Amino acid sequence: MRVKFTVNGRPQEADDVWEGESLLYVLRERLGLPGSKNACEQGECGSCTVRLDGVPVCSCLVAAGQVEGRDVVTVEGLADHARRRAAAGARGTSLPDAQQARGGADSHTGEGTELSPVQQAFLDAGAVQCGFCTPGLLVAADELLESHPNPSDEDVREALSGNLCRCTGYEKIMDAVRLAAARQGEAV
């Protein structure tokens, strides 16, 4: 079957999709967006988390056909998503994030890539080790800070309780979310 939907603001189309394929498979194997990760494919790890019409979901449990006509944001689109959000929040007066240099990124290293605040905080806090859980955690944490700018530690833990990490023991992930929240607070 054919599936048409929007990913990170761009219309996408996938052909010859087998009906049993998940959104995750279509993103990774058909659309060249492997950022969402395939760690468990049973909704028990959160590494495939994407926003589906704004709501964080496990893309491994969304049938490809179910996303027809819908809007998906993946980790690859997170920086853009955050930039648009900041721009909307600034109501057109100033766009500090949007004015950051774009297009100068080194394709080998990602150096110079524009990052969302939560992505930058994960780097700065040392919240990334193997990094396989990172995309899902970033999407979940970004959504948390969008809806709850000043979460308590327990709120953070609850919001991220669907995202397993095997490397870090979560402490630096907590640090990263606190850091992103604090920076977000300063920026307002």
Partner 1 sequence: MSSPKHPTASAQRGAPAGAPTRITQGSQTRGAIGESTLRPDGTLKVTGEFAYSSDLWHEDMLWGQILRSPVAHAEIVSIDTAEALATPGVYAVLTHDDLPTEVKNYGLEIRDTPVLAYGKVRHHGEPVAVVAAAHPETARRAAAKIKVEYRELPVITDEASATAPGAVLVHEHRTDHHVGHVPHPNIVHRQPIVRGDAAAAARRADVIVRGEYTFGMQDQAFLGPESGLAVPEEDGGVHLYVATQWLHSDLRQIAPVLGLPEDKVRMTLAGVGGAFGGREDLSMQIHACLLALRTGKPVKIVYNRFESFFGHVHRHPAKLYYEHGATHDGRLTHLKCRIVLDGGAYASASPAVVGNAASLSVGPYVVDDVDIEAIALYTNNPPCGAMRGFGAVQACFAYEAQMDKLAKKLGMDPVEFRQRNAMEQGTIMPTGQPVDSPAPVAELLRRVKAMPLPPERQWESSEGADVRQLPGGLSNTTHGEGVVRGIGYAVGIKNVGFSEGFDDYSTARVRLEAVAGEPVATVHTAMAEVGQGGVTVHAQIARTELGVAQVTIRPADTQVGSAGSTSASRQTYVTGGAVRHACEQVRERVLELGRRRFGSYHPAWATAELLLEGGKVVTDGGEVLADLAEVLGDEAVEVEDEWRHRPTEPFDLRTGQGNGHVQYSFAAHRAVVEVDTELGLVKVVELACAQDVGKALNPLSVVGQIQGGTTQGLGVAVMEEIVVDPRTAKVRNPSFTDYLIPTILDTPTIPVDVLELADDHAPYGLRGVGEAPTLSSTPAVLAAIRDATGLELNRTPVRPEHLTGTA
Partner 2 sequence: MDFLRPASWEEALAAKAEHPTAVPIAGGTDVMVEINFDHRRPEYLLDLNRVGDLYEWEVGEDSVRLGASVPYAKIMEHLRAELPGLALASHTVASPQIRNRGGVGGNLGTASPAGDAHPALLAAGAEVEVQSAARGTRLVPIDDFYTGVKRNALQPDELIRAVHVRKADGPQQYSKVGTRNAMVIAVCAFGLALHPDTRTVRTGIGSAAPTPVRAATAEDFLNAALEEGGFWDSGKVITPSVARQFADLCAASCNPIDDVRGTAGYRRHAVGVMARRTLTWTWESYRGTRTASEGAA
CB of 41 to partner 2, least distance (A): 4
The shares of helix, strand and coil residues in the chain, as percent rounded to the nearest 5, are: 40, 10, 45
The residues facing 22 across adjacent strands are 63
Interface characters, 40-79, with partner 1 (x: CB under 8 A)? xxx-xx-x--------------------------xxx-xx
The residues facing 55 across adjacent strands are 52
Helix (H, G, I), strand (E, B), or coil: what is residue 73? Answer: strand
Please report, as residue ranges, which positions from 122 to 181 form the binding site for partner 1 (by CB under 8 A).
Answer: 122-124, 126, 128-135, 138, 154, 156-158, 160-174
CB of 128 to partner 1, least distance (A): 5
Nearest to 177, CA basis, from 53, 146, 75:
146
Which residues touch 75 (CB under 8 Å, ≥6 apart)?
35, 36, 50, 134, 135, 136, 138, 139
Are the beta carbons of 135 and 37 closer than 8 angstroms? yes
Residue 56's binding partner, choosing from partner 2, partner 1, none, with beta-carbon cut-off 5 to 8 A by kind? partner 2
Residues recorded for the chain:
188
Nearest to 30, CA basis, from 42, 39, 21:
21
Question: Which residue ranges make up the site for partner 2 (CB under 8 A)?
Answer: 1, 18-20, 22, 41-44, 46, 49, 55-58, 60-63, 65-66, 68, 140, 158-159, 161-163
94 vs 158, beta carbon nearer partner 1 = 158
Q: Binding segment for partner 1 among 13-21, 61-69, 81-89, 96-104 (CB under 8 A)?
A: 13-21
List residues near partner 1 by CB under 8 A.
14-16, 18, 20, 28-42, 44-45, 47, 74-76, 78-79, 106-111, 113, 115, 119-120, 122-124, 126, 128-135, 138, 154, 156-158, 160-174
